Amino acid sequence: MQRATMDPAEETPSMLWGLDPIFSAFARLYVRDILQMTESTQVPVDVLGTVVYKRERDDFFCYGVDDGTGVINCLCWKNDLLKEEANPTKCFDPATELEKLRRAQQSRCHLEIGELLRVRGPSHLMMALHKVNDPVMAVQIAWMMEVPQLYRQCYDKPPQLQPTATGDSSISSLSKATNTIKDFFKQKSVSRFRPYDVQDLLQPLISSQPPAASADQEPVAGPSACQQLRQLLKEALQILQDEGIVYRKVKSQDEVYHVTAHDTDLRMAVKDIIREDSKREKYAEKGCHILHILSAVRQRYSLNVSKAALELVLKSLECNSDIVSTSDSHYTVF
């Protein structure tokens, strides 16, 4: 696949990324996404896949590495030791350690089709090769579990700018409110609650002093502290629902919220759906897609379960080895 190439002069200078602690970290990506990216000299990527073809040139080996989503070309340059394999005593003493070094380099570059390979380097030129010895597939299983989580937790999320000291104070209060409620869930292991159970926790975030009026303005009556508290609680609960942290199983006048992470009934419902539907011929190979699972959960458990809430449940089940992601957004049981 021909990819667009970015002029290095057009890329953001790395010195401007100093506030990002993981800027220089290798991004573990699917080959499919690397092929769709604009080529960059700054972004280092990390791929695990199987050698599906190989070519040898005078100065390098070229390998095709397939991770199940696509194939990417990787280069392994020959060094002088490997080039002079046919006549190793021409320029070098036949010392034992030197011979070991030559053999190690030869073994690293001479890969066979079907071998597992880990590749690192800039997205436009993958060169750092590492042959992986994985007889029980432990490395591949760990990779299959980690990469989907990285996509959900990091790569697929839009960047969020933190409010500055001179920013809107209401944004800061709302952020503090959601964090306060989250901490309450963790400390008390709450599985369900009503709004009045957490309302008092937000009271310290409400200022009881009315805004000061200037000398040439009449004082304006603003919302009372009680109204501010109710509004803050409403907005915080909405954010928690959008993030999937809480949901309402049944929408009624009695506002009961369920905490997704502590809802054992929802976890069992999701696990049972994946176990049962994975036996069907349609889902036997790749497992159940997340949208199918979501539809089934809404039909069999609750109409109000959001995709964000389901993703949290799937992540928890996968971390506990109850299910496994077979590919992007597909899940099955062991």
Kindly give the interhelix angle for 290-300 and 307-319, rounded to the nearest 10 degrees: 110
In b/e form, how buried is each residue of 170-189, taking b as 16+ CB within 10 angstroms?
eeebbeebbeebbeebeeee
Same domain for 189 and 145 = no
Same domain for 149 and 178 = no
DSSP reduced 3-state for 72? strand
Same domain for 130 and 233 = no
Same domain for 125 and 46 = yes
285 in a domain, yes or no?
Answer: yes
Structurally, the chain folds into a number of domains equal to 3
| Cα-based torsion angle of the residue sequence 95, 98, 102, 108 in order, rounded to the nearest 10 degrees | 140
- Of 90-104, 160-174, 226-240, the one with minimum mean pLDDT is 160-174
Q: Which of 311, 319, 321 is nearest to 153 (CA)?
A: 311
Q: Note the residue count of the chain.
A: 334
pLDDT score of 110 more than 90? no
At 167, give phi and psi (nearest 5°).
-75, -175
Residue written as tokens 């397939």? 66
State how far the Cα of 291 lies from the Cα of 178, in Å rounded to an integer. 28
pLDDT given at position 167: 47
pLDDT given at position 89: 46
Structural domain of 37:
14-84+92-154
State how far the Cα of 271 lies from the Cα of 279, in Å rounded to an integer. 13
Write the pLDDT tens digit of every residue in 2-34.
455 555 555 556 555 555 656 667 888 899 988
Same domain for 121 and 22 = yes
State how far the Cα of 108 lies from the Cα of 78, in Å rounded to an integer. 10
Assign residue 306 the CATH number of its domain.
1.10.10.10
Same domain for 309 and 252 = no
State how far the Cα of 274 lies from the Cα of 161, in Å rounded to an integer. 37
Write the pLDDT tens digit of every residue in 88-108.
444 555 567 666 666 665 555
239 in a domain, yes or no?
Answer: yes
**DSSP per-residue codes, 243-255:** TTSEE-SS-SSS-
5 in a domain, yes or no?
Answer: no
Same domain for 149 and 65 = yes
9 in a domain, yes or no?
Answer: no
Assign residue 64 the CATH number of its domain.
2.40.50.140
Q: Where among 261, 280, 308 does a domain terminate?
A: 261
What mean pLDDT comes out for the span 124-142? 81
103 in a domain, yes or no?
Answer: yes
**Token pair listed for 200:** 């008092």
Kindly give the interhelix angle for 264-277 and 290-300, rounded to the nearest 10 degrees: 120
Assign residue 245 the CATH number of its domain.
1.10.10.980
First-residue to last-residue Cα distance in the chain = 35
